[in-house]
Chains A and B, each alone.
Chain A
Amino acid sequence: MAEVLVYVDHVDGAVRKPTLELLTLARRIGEPVAVALGNGAGDTAAALAEHGAVKVLTHEASEYADYLVVPKVDALQAAVEAVSPAAVLVPSSAEGKEIAARLALRLGSGIITDAVDLEAGDEGPVATQSVFAASFTTKSRISKGTPVITVKPNSAAVEAAPAAGAVEALSVSFSAQATGTKVTGRTPRESTGRPELTEAAIVVSGGRGVNGAENFGLIEALADSLGAAVGASRAAVDAGWYPHTNQVGQTGKSVSPQLYIASGISGAIQHRAGMQTSKTIVAINKDAEAPIFDLVDYGVVGDLFDVVPQLTDEIRAAHA
């Protein structure tokens, strides 16, 4: 059976959920071989084996943390040369897309980014994408070279599928470009204790109607009652009420949770682009004419300052 390379996104050996989802998708087109790089690479093996990796190629070197992107491209290229895979799958993060793009170019291959589903096809893997603010769904495949595909979080369920997960050291020689962009400082983001926005099963977002940074506590309280991530519209981010890393929309994150709750968000096309593929959509807005209501499964026309606290209390009471 053909092997499929899966690039592992991990933090010091802790594998992030989108990589486990990739292993599920990889099994549809072949046998997953994982590539884990950098500090703690070897520690990923148990989790990867549990989810279907037949082999885990690892390489630890300080270059992965000290320089941007290119060392990882060098390593993936070495892995492709060692394995001759049927496809390479990479999580669709900002960095993942850059790694995948440069790898595709080196391999003389095509690239598909932001796939939301993947299936085996007669002429190679077929990727589903959601385009034009999620108003169209396309199915595409790569017509030249080794398919390189990046997949968005929440595109598949994580499934346990124990496999050998044999660890092998990958041999990597870095290119001249590898040390071109130095990382001269790194400030880790403070953990909020909430799930990561793009990975969360539930997202609660606030927009212009939240009317001030101090009121985002209401949104956070609702999110916490549901174990949800917090999102914000561009208007709220531009106003400085919430960090850019939480922005949902065309120029921020695109999310696809089981449940999306929009509070005080009108639903401009740029915002819809980032949340329209959510399974269930709920909105709370004073303006009955707000375009967000065209998308909802359930909408409340009302003041979020009344509705959100009442909802939060109800959820807390139900969970108590």
Chain B
Amino acid sequence: MSLRIVVTVKYVPDATGDRHFADDLTVDRDDVDGLLSELDEYAVEQALRMAEELDGAEITVVTVGPENAKDALRKALSMGADKAIHVEDDDIHGTDAIGTSLILAKAIEKAGYDLVVSGMASTDGTMGVVPALLAERLGVPQVTLLSEVSVEDGTVKGRRDGDAASENLEASLPAVVSVTDQSGEARYPSFKGIMAAKKKPVQSWDLSDLDIEAEEVGLEGSYTTVENAAERPARTAGTIVKDEGEGGKQLAEFLAGQKFI
């Protein structure tokens, strides 16, 4: 049987756009263009590389999000994933990381998997906790924050570069893996890939397909409450000088005035 790889991806507001909050203090997703979270491209890439190394792995990408989140799935399919699952339901709006991990875990279990591959964090929430939450929910090992990953004979191996040390990790499948942006440049979809993606299956599931009650997710099911969100005041314009031979000295004077020297 070929290895079943499920890659979790997220559709996020473009970081170069003007991101802000909606009235209910959830992320406003209507006002800014979205795209596949850049860090998830590395997850898709590593899944594709592992599939190339193995014989006949099947890659399923899964996302949770509104209608336009399909764009993230299409991007992953055009990179080379085989099929996609879109979990969409009006009651999902406002779901936090704990709830998201519930939806993803149920969808991954329903899809069937040997290996889950995620990005290290989303580029909007940037919590970086969903892979660990998935491992906890699925009851399988977490092999996370890898800059190198490989699978062989039912074992996943990887290298995790932490602050204090680099660690070599190993776990038996099934397992949850997350990869960093150091794992290897993600490929661009080819024209052929983009055309092929249009014919690849995208399945849509809602909460009832996953046996999840509406009150377990969404704003109502959220375990955290945002009390307020305020735009950070713009920094007041600083002093800018042009270096005409004394720039370093002028800067030193500024730093001395601020008691840094």
A→B interface (CB under 8 Å): 11, 68-70, 73, 93-95, 97-98, 100-102, 104-106, 109-114, 126, 130-145, 177, 180-189, 196, 198, 202, 226, 244-245, 250-251, 258-259, 269-270, 273, 276, 280-282, 284, 288, 293-303, 306-315, 318-319
Contact = CB atoms under 8 A, between A and B. Distances in A.
Given A182-B171, A295-B238, 17 more contacts: A93-B163, A110-B222, A110-B224, A131-B229, A135-B19, A135-B232, A137-B230, A139-B228, A142-B224, A181-B141, A183-B168, A187-B165, A189-B163, A299-B238, A311-B248, A314-B248, A319-B261
A110 B15 contact: no
B43 to A, nearest CB: 13
Chain B interface mostly helix, strand, loop or mixed?
mixed
B227 A140 contact: yes
A221 to B, nearest CB: 12
A145 B223 contact: yes
Contacts of B137: 105
29 contacts: A69-B132, A97-B128, A97-B132, A100-B129, A102-B132, A114-B126, A131-B229, A132-B19, A132-B124, A138-B229, A140-B225, A143-B222, A143-B223, A180-B172, A181-B141, A183-B168, A187-B165, A187-B167, A270-B15, A281-B235, A297-B254, A299-B240, A300-B240, A301-B240, A301-B242, A307-B251, A311-B249, A315-B261, A318-B261
A269 B16 contact: yes
A313 B140 CA distance: 55
A133 B15 contact: yes
B97 interface: yes
Contact of A110 (B96, B143, B232): B96
B128 A111 contact: no
B224 A126 contact: no
A249 to B, nearest CB: 10
Interface in B1-55: 15-16, 19-21, 25, 38-39
Contacts of B230: 136-138
Given A11-B164, A245-B163, A310-B249, A180 B228 contact: no
Contact of B169 (A140, A182, A273, A301): A182
Tell which of B133, B224, B227, B235 has the most Cβ of chain A within 10 Å: B224
Nearest to B181: A251
B186 interface: no
B248 A111 contact: no
A105 B251 contact: no
Contacts of B141: 68, 177, 180-181
A314 B252 contact: yes
B241 A250 contact: no
B144 A98 contact: yes
A309 B96 CA distance: 48
Interface string B219-261: 0001111111111100100111111011111111011101011
Contacts of B101: 105
Shortest 7 CB-CB contacts between residues of A and residues of B: A302-B243, A310-B248, A110-B223, A180-B141, A314-B252, A101-B129, A185-B168
Contacts of B223: 104, 109-111, 142-145
Contacts of B85: none
A177 B176 CA distance: 13
Nearest to B166: A187
A237 B49 CA distance: 23
A186 B168 CA distance: 6
Contacts of A276: 232
A68 B143 contact: yes
Contacts of B175: 180-181
Contacts of A270: 15
A3 B147 CA distance: 38
Given A187-B165, A251-B181, A298 B254 contact: yes
Given A126-B227, A183-B168, A226 B260 contact: yes
Contacts of B25: 138
Nearest to B250: A300
Given A104-B98, A109-B223, A314-B249, A202 B260 contact: yes
Contacts of A288: 240, 242
B145 interface: yes
Contacts of B242: 288, 300-302
A68 B159 CA distance: 12
A101 B238 CA distance: 40
B139 interface: yes
B182 interface: yes
